[in-house]
Amino acid sequence: MTLRRAVLLLAAAVIATSLFVAPSAASAAPRAAATAGPVSAAQAAAAALAARGTKIVAAARNQRGKPYRYGARGPSAFDCSGLAGYAYAKAGVRLPRTAQAQYRRARKITAAAARPGDLVFWVSGNHAYHVAVYAGAGQVWHAPKPGDRVKLAKIWNWKQVRFGRV
């Protein structure tokens, strides 16, 4: 196991522990992690990125079932870029309004480098026509289309998919 993967797994465990156990037990996990040895700046940055991604995915997941409405930014309805912007705002990150503007803002990454909380864009030519929040394991949280609702879905049409990180 690589050091990076170990740090990400540790960060995920700390986050999961703090979300699902009593406060007294949750406070022990960071202390245990702190006693495991020195942490480099890169490891700390990776852990912070993983924590932010977890928060973004949770914010998107919490909108499950809300209706799609063109131009809607929440909290009662969303379009695709509105959902991404809302989820990122819950993690303290402001995104531009449209899928295309979000695509221009994002640093492009490979599918292999994608982590939960990254953005997934469907692009035709150089135009992003849909955006979603990467949930991991080839799945996204998105507001698909009129008449549909926010939901978890498998990534489709991989030829048009691009990943980005903000």
Statement to judge: residues 120 and 83 lie in one domain: yes
Residues 66, 78 contacting (CB under 8 angstroms): yes
Statement to judge: residues 33 and 80 lie in one domain: no
Catalytic residue, chosen from 7, 15, 57, 80, is: 80
80 is an active site residue: yes
142 is an active site residue: yes
Computed over every residue of the chain, the mean pLDDT equals 85
Catalytic residue, chosen from 57, 130, 131, 141, is: 130
**Whole-number Å distance between alpha carbons of 116 and 95:** 17
Q: What's the pLDDT at 10?
A: 47
Give residue-wise pLDDT tens across range 20-43: 333 344 444 454 455 566 789 999
Whether pLDDT at 145 is above 50? yes
Q: What's the pLDDT at 37?
A: 66
Statement to judge: residues 118 and 76 lie in one domain: yes
Q: What is the CATH number of the domain that holds 127?
A: 3.90.1720.10
CB atoms within 10 A of CB 6: 13
Q: What's the pLDDT at 9?
A: 47
Residues 153, 139 contacting (CB under 8 angstroms): yes
Per-residue pLDDT averaged across 114-138, rounded?
97
Give residue-wise pLDDT tens across range 52-71: 999 999 999 999 999 999 99
Owning domain of residue 65: 54-165
Q: What's the pLDDT at 38?
A: 77
Q: What's the pLDDT at 39?
A: 80
Statement to judge: residues 34 and 60 lie in one domain: no
Greater pLDDT, 72 or 9:
72
Catalytic residue, chosen from 118, 142, 163, 164, is: 142
Per-residue pLDDT averaged across 119-147, rounded?
97
Is 46 a domain residue?
A: no
Statement to judge: residues 61 and 135 lie in one domain: yes
**What value does the CA radius of gyration of the chain take, rounded to a whole number of Å?**
17
Name the band, by pLDDT with cuts 50, 70 and 90, for residue 17.
Answer: very low
Looking at residue 159, the DSSP 8-state letter turns out to be: G
- For CA atoms 3, 5, 6, 12, the dihedral sign is positive
Give the number of domains in the chain: 2
Is 26 a domain residue?
A: yes
Is 104 a domain residue?
A: yes
Strands 107-109 and 127-136: unpaired
Statement to judge: residues 107 and 140 lie in one domain: yes
